Structures are given as C-alpha cells and as structure tokens.
Amino acid sequence: MEKNLEALEKQLDVKFSNINLLRQALVHRSYLNEHRDFPLDHNERLEFLGDAVLELVVTEHLFSNFPNPEGELTNWRASLVNAQMLSMVAEQSGIEDFLYLSRGESKEAKTKARQSILANSLEAIIGAIYLDKDYDAAATFVHRNIIAKLPHILKYKLYLDPKSRFQEISQEVEGATPSYRVLEESGPDHEKQFVVGVYLDDAEVATGRGTSKQEAQMHAAEEALAAKGWAER
C-alpha cells in the first residue's frame, strides 16, 4: 500500500529529493513478510546510520555548550537519545500514521514494541535526511526536534533514572528514603514476572511490574513519581 508522504514531509519540515529514502525509513521488517513484492528494503540499515548521526549531533552540542564532567554529559545524552524520548518525538511528528507495518503490528496498541518501532523509525528518518541532504540538514532536524527538549530535561532532572529521582525528591520533600519489596512473583523461570511495591515509611506509594526485580522497581518508581505529583518537579 502506497502512502502519500507529502503530509509527513510538511510535518517534519523536510522536503526530500528522493522520497523513497523517507518511505524506506518507515518500513518495518514485518511489513515485508506480508508484501514480498514491495520494492524497498526495511529501515534497519537507515536506523543504524541515523543512530550514529543522532549521537554525534547531540554529543557535539553538549560538548560545545556545557563544561560539565563527562559522566553528566553522558547521562544528558542518554536522556535525549533513549527509546522513550525518540518515540515521543516520533509521535509528536505524526510518524505513526505513515509506518509500513504488518497487520499484526498495526493492531498493537501503545506497547513497548510499538515504542521501539517508533524510536527506530525516527532514527531511520535522520539517516534518510543525512543521505538525501547532508550532515547539516540532519543536525538541524535533530536540534529542532530532539535537542530542543534538553532545557525541560535539565529543569526537571529527567536525566536521572526513576529510582534515583524518586529517592532524591523523597529525601528532599519528606525526609524519607524509599524502600522496595517484592509483592508477587509468577511464571516459569524463563518468563518470570515480578510485582514490586515502593514504600515511604512503610506506606505503599505505588507498585510496578516487570520481567526482573530491577525493571519492576523502575516501573514502581515511575508510578510513585506520578502518584506523588512529582513527575515534573
């Protein structure tokens, strides 16, 4: 199924000389399994290229504008280029409506897999811009859509992982250090599911689920930040 990509070009504010580069950036591997006559490849090579361009643009910006230690800059960079941030930018850019997905993938809602597909597609688009234009055009796109999020990230310390943020704010606001307890453990060894509760002074604040205790703790901390109204404190 062909898609009219002119609307997406307007949303991205990029006019492609070779529209098939943009089209390929939107092709998920699953689509080709159902459309073997599709003339383009999937987007994974473009994603590989775009990932490198994105990291270099962000690294150059941080190095040139902040005298902070390497460890802090690394954390800031990670907060800009992680899957959660990239998928959010992809959603804001309206990319999802133009993806080439299998029927099964198309039916998936806001899952972790869909988040990954969106993030990878955004990286592929950055790679496509680099090939269609040049490094400067790709850098302009990254600055406008991704690096522009940095002031918000720094203001609310979103570069910290949820556990670190929740602990820091809990100690600052309530003078208490969070503790975590495994509430439930289920499933066979190769598919374990954990439910973890996070507590302040023995009062449960929130729970989180994950395939490891660490993942469940992270999700519990995210939920706790939201429950306390501290997500953007």
The residues that are catalytic are 51, 123
Is 43 in contact with 124 (CB distance < 8 Å)?
Answer: yes
Give the HSE-up count for residue 60: Cα atoms under 13 Å, Cβ half-sphere.
12
Is 58 in contact with 78 (CB distance < 8 Å)?
Answer: no
- Radius of gyration (C-alpha) of the chain in whole angstroms: 20
- Distance between CA atoms of 153 and 79, rounded to whole angstroms? 8
- Distance between CA atoms of 141 and 58, rounded to whole angstroms? 11
Token pair in block for residue 158: 């979103």
